[in-house]
Amino acid sequence: MVQAEGLTKRYRKAVAVEGLTFGVGPGEVYALLGPNGAGKTTTLRLLSTLVRPSAGRALVAGFDVVREPLEVRRNLGLVNGGMRVYERLTGREVLEFFAGFYGLKGRAFLGALDWVVDLLEMEETLDKKVGEMSTGMRQKVVIARAILHRPKVLLLDEATAGLDIFARRALLDFVKAYRDLGHAVIYSTHVMGEAEEVADRVGFLHRGRLVYEGSKEEALALGEGSLERAFVRQVRGA
């Protein structure tokens, strides 16, 4: 579902990511792990066609991010930590507005709405204004907005930032449920405990380079049961 080969992004003299090569299959959560500034967000921006690579290439659902950006976006969902939605609208109105960008109208929208409401257990958000919602409710609307078109690939960039314990739990449970539907998920975070719970495979980013990639079990073995310890060892070795 996702394939990156030598993916590189340079900004003048600075290199944000360099030579990234990795892949993510259907029904898999790939955790992209690293501290702030490691290149995680830039990598997801490259995959989501928000910025163009300086070198290398990437495919999302079989479509090239440079040559076929519209097809990439049709098969992609993106959730960033801190994403906001229109506070004066109800949850239903927000979703109907964004569904229009994907051509989901009438019965098609109602079918998509029923699907996300059931998947995210968000009945209570539909007729409540966003400005009156809890943090967890708002995050459900943000996620629903990103997956209304049932994208084959979902990118989550520090998606639990600022969430309380209940909202964080709901998001982690959603990630596993979306993976189990056969979709590919890239879960970008610096919180190793979250990755330990949801990831099938992990990649360690340090200064824009992928310094380790393997299954979660392999990484835990390297760190004697701790992803954080494994990350520190691999970075020091690099």
Q: What is the pLDDT of residues 186-222, one digit of tens each?
A: 999 999 999 999 999 999 999 999 999 999 999 999 9
pLDDT digits (tens, 9 = 90+) for 38-52: 999 999 999 999 999
- For residue 12 the two structure tokens come to 């003048």
Map out the domains of the chain with their CATH numbers. Answer: 1-75+153-162+183-238 (3.40.50.300), 83-150 (no CATH)
Of 150, 153, 147, give the one whose Cα is nearest residue 25: 153
Residue 135 pLDDT class (50, 70, 90 cuts) = confident
Give the pLDDT score at 170: 87
Report the Cα 200 to chain-centroid distance in Å: 14
The string over 114-150, giving b where at least 16 C-beta atoms fall within 10 Å of a residue's C-beta and e elsewhere, is: eebbebbebeebbeeebeebeebbbbbbbbbbbbbbb
Are 51 and 22 a contacting pair, CB within 8 Å?
A: no
CA distance 175 to 147: 12
Burial group, residue 11, by CB count within 10 angstroms (0-12, 13-18, 19+): exposed
CA distance 48 to 44: 6
